[in-house]
Amino acid sequence: MLRKKANGSTNGSRMARALTGLTGGAIDRRTFLRRSGLTVGGLAGATALGGGMVRKAQAQGAATGATEMIRSVCTHCSVGCTVEAEVQNGVWTGQEPGWDSPFNLGAHCAKGASVREHAHGERRLKYPMKLVNGEWTRVSWQDAINEIGDKMLSIREESGPDSVYWLGSAKHSNEQAYLYRKFAAFWGTNNIDHQARICHSTTVAGVANTWGYGAMTNSYNDIHKSRAIFLIGGNPAEAHPVSMLHILKAKEQNNAPLIVCDPRFTRTAAHADEYVRLRSGTDVALVWGILWHIFENGWEDQEFIRQRVWGMDEIRAEVAKWNPEETERVTGVPGSQLRRVARTMANNRPGTVIWCMGGTQHTNGNNNTRAYCVLQLALGNMGVAGGGTNIFRGHDNVQGATDLGVLMDTLPGYYGLAEGSWKHWARVWQVDHDYLVGRFHDAEIMTKAGIPVSRWIDGVLEDKDNIDQPDNVRAMVLNGHAPNSQTRLTEMKTAMEKLDLLVVVDPYPTVSAVLHDRKDGAYLLPAATQFETYGSVTASNRSLQWREKVFDPLFESKVDHEIIYLFAKKFGFADEMFKNIAVNGDEPLVEDITGEFNRGMWTIGYTGQSPERLRLHMANQHTFDRTTLRANGGPADGDYYGLPWPSWGTAEMGHPGTPNLYDTSMPVAEGGLTFRARFGVERNGENLLAEGSYSVGSEIKDGYPEFTMAMLQSLGWDGDLTAEERASIEAVAGEKTNWKTDLSGGIQRVAIKHGCAPFGNAKA
């Protein structure tokens, strides 16, 4: 369906073109395959031409024998398709899509099928390079780290730690992302960010403030159960091609109508039952216009709203203004079409709402994402299989890098920058809070947001009196982030030239190597790709997958966590930073990094996903149901694939992960949840807690606030804590210790034992 056709024959086939010259006549792939068994000379000739379709590997395989199969995950988008790499004598020679993976079921898109070229690409950076009198010159790693480090230390001395900006990446594994965030903390700045800022940060803010977490609530697979699909501001046929496998399954097997709202008639829209062409930027008006028909006809889910939603009356008053005429005036969409859309969604429940960049990348992106959520709340489509907000993430690990706090406004696990959050992580890291404060310019700046990636340029170019830090940004590190994906390129060029120091850490030179007219003070450090290391990566649906290492780092490239370690060593804080992480040579042990974030990420339940459990899932992909994602038999029986967060408590507790957020039809211990109590218990005298709604098996048969030690005591449940748990809770903050700060996991364990969600049970 994604193949461009011309005159009825496929075009763009390099093989067909290559063979034209070879055989003296047009030949398509099928003809080639038919003939190739006969014409050995033709095959050898095609191989020599380097046509992408013939694998040299097979010819070699016969000679060298053993082919090792290594399981990794595609690095190009958030679907998380499994890549089965074929390795011979340490060389990645071939590739298959993962047939057992419940995500891709043996499918790959063009990007996944060519992922080997990301690793073996001919433009890989081979060794560290430095700009000397306008010429890129080879340097040793040791010299590069020393020179960059000395320069940064002198900038730190003169201008403070905030004058170095650490741009991170959604291409890093979870372990690398976490380590990079921790590294920025030890360096003493919040000037760290990554692609999520310009991708889904508007989703995170809008959605988390609606019901608790800012992530995709269900999964690609769960779309199988949808009775209607409302897709707005996304073009998965091109951006997340393998996800179409799940969308089209619902469309074809459930007869689920597919509604696509996009200003452009896209390749996804080509599959739609109903294509809504709206004026760009008018999503809120469009959704309010749909809600107008829903409220007008009483199609909303009144019982769901009564029990689980606060403030719908205010929405209703606002929506009343968006009658069909006003909506059409703003959006360009006729009222008759929106009435049909509203009726389709009302008649086909549960339906899912899907969105991506068409919703987020706007100045009113938060408003868009909140409006989409409101639509689902009105229809009662939340917390139910087949419903939810299926928010397709972008890069392969943009979900993980966001969760691990590679952001200028949070610490790992969305802990924020308040003193209490810093104290939590200081406890996890086993360093004094005062030590961390001492690393920053001052205690106040430590609790303030840094500069977002979209504005690092201003950090360089603005008059320093206009920026909220002691001095301008003077050194910029682009670690796994390209510059041409950012706006204001001409100003970026100026900023790159004004910097004292520009450092690129990337498998490729990227446009950062050539965008500016610098003559010196710029370095390129070769990072290894994710196929040259191993560790966890979080797909769009919150499942963590474990990549194994396919081959050793090419040339002189180094894995990102080693590069981070080298800088920590140079800056003199490696011993503090790595006190609980084994370091082999200069490479920190990946499993120890996972273990460390497992010990601190209580907020979103990144605590149950130990490397052992994740490896078990990867090895037993075939045991997981392709719709529910639940293992049916096998060693991971009952777990959900990749332990989609929250996987509450410790790994030993064995929580199976949460396949669909806020689903009260299952016990919390088995993956059920309520809406989070984010805003306390009441507002203007109105009850913010859920009313008469609670998850199956809950001993509290109504809404309840977040769990604290004091709450366990007043419920009389603290007796269920073990002595060690109690001691650990006492050591944090006594009865004020809560489900987020308890390092033992005891509060979560006991709440769940009594059928309750650790984060409370409130209204959206």
Under a CB-based contact definition with an 8 Å cutoff, are residues 590 and 598 in contact? Answer: no
CA–CA dist 413, 609 (Å, integer): 14
CA–CA dist 266, 275 (Å, integer): 10
> Could you tell me how far CA 263 lies from the centroid of its own chain?
26
- Does 764 bind ligand SF4 (CB under 6 A)? Our answer is no
For ligand SF4, the closer of residues 1 and 6 by Cβ is: 1
> Positive or negative CA dihedral for 410, 415, 418, 422?
negative
CA–CA dist 538, 406 (Å, integer): 14
CA distances from 694 to 20, 187, 526 (A): 67, 44, 52
- Does 202 bind ligand MGD (CB under 6 A)? Our answer is no
> Positive or negative CA dihedral for 232, 237, 239, 241?
positive
- Does 480 bind ligand MGD (CB under 6 A)? Our answer is yes
Rounded to a whole number of angstroms, the minimum distance from the CB of residue 617 to ligand SF4 is: 17
- Does 198 bind ligand MGD (CB under 6 A)? Our answer is yes
> Could you tell me how far CA 135 lies from the centroid of its own chain?
37
CA–CA dist 756, 482 (Å, integer): 44
266, 410, 623, 693: which one contacts ligand MGD (CB under 6 A)?
Answer: 266
- Does 79 bind ligand SF4 (CB under 6 A)? Our answer is yes
Site string (498-537) toward ligand MGD, x via CB under 6 A: -------xxxx-x----------------x-xx-------
Q: By CB under 6 A, what part of segment 205-264 binds ligand MGD?
A: 232-236, 238-240, 261-264
- Does 479 bind ligand MGD (CB under 6 A)? Our answer is yes
For ligand MGD, the closer of residues 505 and 643 by Cβ is: 505
| Residue 265 CB neighbour total at 10 angstroms | 12
Rounded to a whole number of angstroms, the minimum distance from the CB of residue 2 to ligand MGD is: 10
Phi and psi dihedrals of 267, rounded to 5? -65, -25
Rounded to a whole number of angstroms, the minimum distance from the CB of residue 398 to Mo ion is: 6
Count of residues that interact with ligand SF4, criterion CB under 6 A: 14
- Does 109 bind ligand SF4 (CB under 6 A)? Our answer is yes
> Positive or negative CA dihedral for 378, 383, 387, 388?
positive
- Which residue, judged by CB position, is nearest to Mo ion in the bound state? 394
Q: By CB under 6 A, what part of segment 171-190 binds ligand MGD?
A: 171-172
- Does 394 bind Mo ion (CB under 5 A)? Our answer is yes
Q: Which does 383 bind (CB under 5 to 8 A by kind): ligand SF4, Mo ion, ligand MGD, none?
A: none
Rounded to a whole number of angstroms, the minimum distance from the CB of residue 407 to Mo ion is: 14
- Does 241 bind ligand SF4 (CB under 6 A)? Our answer is yes
For ligand MGD, the closer of residues 324 and 358 by Cβ is: 358
CA–CA dist 556, 562 (Å, integer): 12
For ligand MGD, the closer of residues 291 and 747 by Cβ is: 291
Contacts of 533 (CB under 8 A, 6+ apart): 173, 547, 549, 553, 559, 560, 561, 590
Rounded to a whole number of angstroms, the minimum distance from the CB of residue 588 to ligand MGD is: 15
For Mo ion, the closer of residues 208 and 482 by Cβ is: 482
> Positive or negative CA dihedral for 358, 399, 475, 421?
positive
Q: Which does 74 bind (CB under 5 to 8 A by kind): ligand SF4, ligand MGD, Mo ion, none?
A: ligand SF4
CA–CA dist 567, 574 (Å, integer): 8
> Of the listed pieces 476-484, 491-499, 621-629, 738-746, which binds ligand MGD according to CB under 6 A?
476-484
**Pairing of β 535-538 and β 258-261:** unpaired
74, 284, 411, 618: which one contacts ligand SF4 (CB under 6 A)?
Answer: 74
Ramachandran assignment for 530, one of left (phi > 0), alpha (psi -120 to 50 degrees), beta (any other): alpha
CA–CA dist 645, 660 (Å, integer): 10
For ligand MGD, the closer of residues 173 and 744 by Cβ is: 173
For ligand SF4, the closer of residues 83 and 375 by Cβ is: 83
Rounded to a whole number of angstroms, the minimum distance from the CB of residue 241 to ligand MGD is: 8
The letter for the amino acid at 318 is E
For ligand MGD, the closer of residues 139 and 527 by Cβ is: 527
CA–CA dist 212, 204 (Å, integer): 10
- Does 240 bind ligand SF4 (CB under 6 A)? Our answer is yes
Q: By CB under 5 A, what part of segment 189-218 binds Mo ion?
A: 199
485, 580, 713, 714: which one contacts ligand MGD (CB under 6 A)?
Answer: 485
Q: Which does 369 bind (CB under 5 to 8 A by kind): ligand SF4, Mo ion, ligand MGD, none?
A: none
For ligand SF4, the closer of residues 80 and 387 by Cβ is: 80
Q: Which does 81 bind (CB under 5 to 8 A by kind): Mo ion, ligand MGD, ligand SF4, none?
A: ligand SF4
Under a CB-based contact definition with an 8 Å cutoff, are residues 739 and 758 in contact? Answer: yes
SS3 of residue 168 by DSSP: coil
> Could you tell me how far CA 133 lies from the centroid of its own chain?
40
What's the Rg (C-alpha) of the chain? 27
Q: What angle do CA 187, 189, 193 make, to 5 degrees?
A: 110
- Does 77 bind ligand SF4 (CB under 6 A)? Our answer is yes
439, 481, 561, 617: which one contacts ligand MGD (CB under 6 A)?
Answer: 481
The letter for the amino acid at 78 is S
- Does 105 bind ligand SF4 (CB under 6 A)? Our answer is no
Site string (373-412) toward ligand MGD, x via CB under 6 A: ---------------------xx-----------------
Q: Which does 481 bind (CB under 5 to 8 A by kind): Mo ion, ligand SF4, ligand MGD, none?
A: ligand MGD
Beta bridge partners of residue 536, listed in sequence order = 546
Count of residues that interact with Mo ion, criterion CB under 5 A: 2
Under a CB-based contact definition with an 8 Å cutoff, are residues 214 and 207 in contact? Answer: yes
Query: Strand order of the sheet with strand 68-73?
Result: 68-73, 82-88, 91-97
DSSP 115-140: HHHHHH-TT---S-EEEETTEEEE--
Q: Which does 112 bind (CB under 5 to 8 A by kind): ligand MGD, Mo ion, ligand SF4, none?
A: ligand SF4
Q: Which does 485 bind (CB under 5 to 8 A by kind): ligand SF4, Mo ion, ligand MGD, none?
A: ligand MGD
Count of CA atoms in the C-beta half-sphere (13 A) of 454: 9
> Of the listed pieces 91-99, 306-314, 356-364, 592-600, which binds ligand MGD according to CB under 6 A?
356-364
Question: Shortest CA distance to 541 belongs to which of 390, 359, 707?
Answer: 390
DSSP 614-678: HHHHHHTGGGB-TTT-BB-SSTTTTPBTT-PSPB-S-GGGT----SSTT-TTS-GGGT---B---
For ligand MGD, the closer of residues 142 and 485 by Cβ is: 485
Rounded to a whole number of angstroms, the minimum distance from the CB of residue 295 to ligand SF4 is: 38
The letter for the amino acid at 371 is A
Q: Which does 350 bind (CB under 5 to 8 A by kind): ligand MGD, ligand SF4, Mo ion, none?
A: none
- Does 81 bind ligand SF4 (CB under 6 A)? Our answer is yes
The position carrying tokens 């994906």 is 485
Q: Which does 478 bind (CB under 5 to 8 A by kind): ligand MGD, Mo ion, ligand SF4, none?
A: none
CA–CA dist 642, 634 (Å, integer): 15
Query: Which residues are near Mo ion by CB under 5 A?
Result: 199, 394
Query: Which residues are near ligand SF4 by CB under 6 A?
Result: 74, 76-77, 79-81, 104, 108-109, 111-112, 240-242
Query: Which residues are near ligand MGD by CB under 6 A?
Result: 77, 111, 169, 171-172, 195, 198-199, 232-236, 238-240, 261-264, 266, 278, 280-281, 283, 356-359, 394-395, 479-482, 485, 505-508, 510, 527, 529-530, 560
